[in-house]
Structure 1
């Protein structure tokens, strides 16, 4: 964005010039949230600082309207298809998200030193969690089996198809985009084709209607179906308050419980030997 605006005078940066920047910097059809995060917020920040210093006018740039984010859990049937049809190198991540509800940044920075398969738990370090607090993640049998099948036991747990670790990131960014889109498309998750041209050649890619973070919302809804305990959900998921998880209390009908247990690997024998209700 710095290269785009260059030495443009502050009093020439307005709604129209920001619109030009959006078209020049972002891919066609970029979501409103992407426009706000990547263009509107930084432009406003720079202009507000300049105005405070007396170098230019206060920013008068309107943001596009954002749709209210409503957590929409995926059904066990859909997630089972996602796991089955994900690219092989990406499948462990889909299993992990569905079984733990961990955020993408927490997941991509997970090291084998933080995992204890015999105790069926993983430790998230304070510097990797959103709340800045250490968190213990109980591993369901499906997650344990997935981890046990990985071919390495040192360094980062989750690797790309070339077996190199993912970059540390809060949201995964483009490094998860292609395998996630492939997974969603193969599983029948809704989305749309984004089309554009590069040097006159048509390009297109599938844009799923959900991102990896949707499996955190899904896990939370499933957690309440199985455990019926908002305090436990708050603690297990690393939220700050019960108020933040109340939206999951009735987001998925209870008749999905058997299918959820199957995906998590919660057999009757395992449940008798654990604290899972």
Structure 2
């Protein structure tokens, strides 16, 4: 990616690299790619380089309009879906599904887990978030602890927890389990999606959801996972003083 952008601009003076020129470079470099690829592969890195030069007073800072990307509605896994999947999957594959749903781990993070990262006694897991170059200690709900404990393994500290080396090797088994369970086809990421959506619908505040799921930007949780509920009766909560006015309700009862 970086080499392609560097080769395109070569010795072009910075003053000639305009916002319009950057957008055109994305089209020329990736003529058959979608808007998201053009943004990610060209506009973002080129703008970052220009703005770094601006910090050195070599040129003015620049803002480049991104290509519009159609928002895809991602369907979250539900507890019912996850339980049905686990029932028809092998122990380690079922545990993988429950682990991602219960911790919000990405598939790449889950597959990288070794037994040295898992502490069943304290119900915690060290998750290395390579996507954002960070790590977090996740709580393991009891259902996840039980699933991990039931994986047939000698629990070699350096051994892979879920056995699969890469998502491509796990996908076929994943799809087969879905067919056996007779449930809707969902992706690995639907479990992470379900983690966020389930907590938000349970009334957990978005900051806590972001912290426990490893999101650096809180607004990303709202934008991506904050789906509205379908049942209209949810507005009954307005008149439930135990939810909306806990202090006043408590004082009145005293």
Deviations 1:61-83 (A, max 9, x none): 13357752223213332222111
Distance in structure 1 (CA, Å) of the matches to 2:114 and 2:215: 22
Shift, 1:241, TM fit: 1.8
2:178 is aligned, of 184, 191, 194, to 184
3-state SS of the aligned residue for 1:134?
strand
The answer to whether the 8 A contact 2:117-2:125 is kept is yes
What is residue 215 of structure 2 aligned with on the other side? 239
More helix by share: 2
- 1:185-224 equivalences under 5 Å are 185-190=179-184, 208=185, 210-224=186-200
What is residue 57 of structure 2 aligned with on the other side? none
The answer to whether the 8 A contact 1:73-1:251 is kept is no
Question: What is the aligned-residue RMSD (CA, Å)?
Answer: 2.9
TM-score, normalised to structure 1, is: 0.56
Distance in structure 1 (CA, Å) of the matches to 2:212 and 2:78: 21
Deviating beyond 6 angstroms after TM superposition, the runs of 4 or more aligned structure 1 residues are none
2:139 is the counterpart of 1:153:
no
Distance in structure 2 (CA, Å) of the matches to 1:233 and 1:241: 11
What is residue 124 of structure 1 aligned with on the other side? 127
- 1:222-261 equivalences under 5 Å are 222-247=198-223, 248-252=225-229
What is residue 59 of structure 1 aligned with on the other side? 29
3-state SS of the aligned residue for 2:202?
helix
TM-score, normalised to structure 2, is: 0.61
Bigger relative contact order, structure 1 or 2, given CA contacts below 8 A and separation 6+?
Answer: 1
Gaps of 5+ in 2: 12-24, 36-68, 232-254
What is residue 112 of structure 1 aligned with on the other side? 115
- 1:79-94 equivalences under 5 Å are 79-94=82-97
Deviations 1:17-64 (A, max 9, x none): xxxxxxxxxxxxxxxxxxxxxxxxx6xx7765544349xx94361335
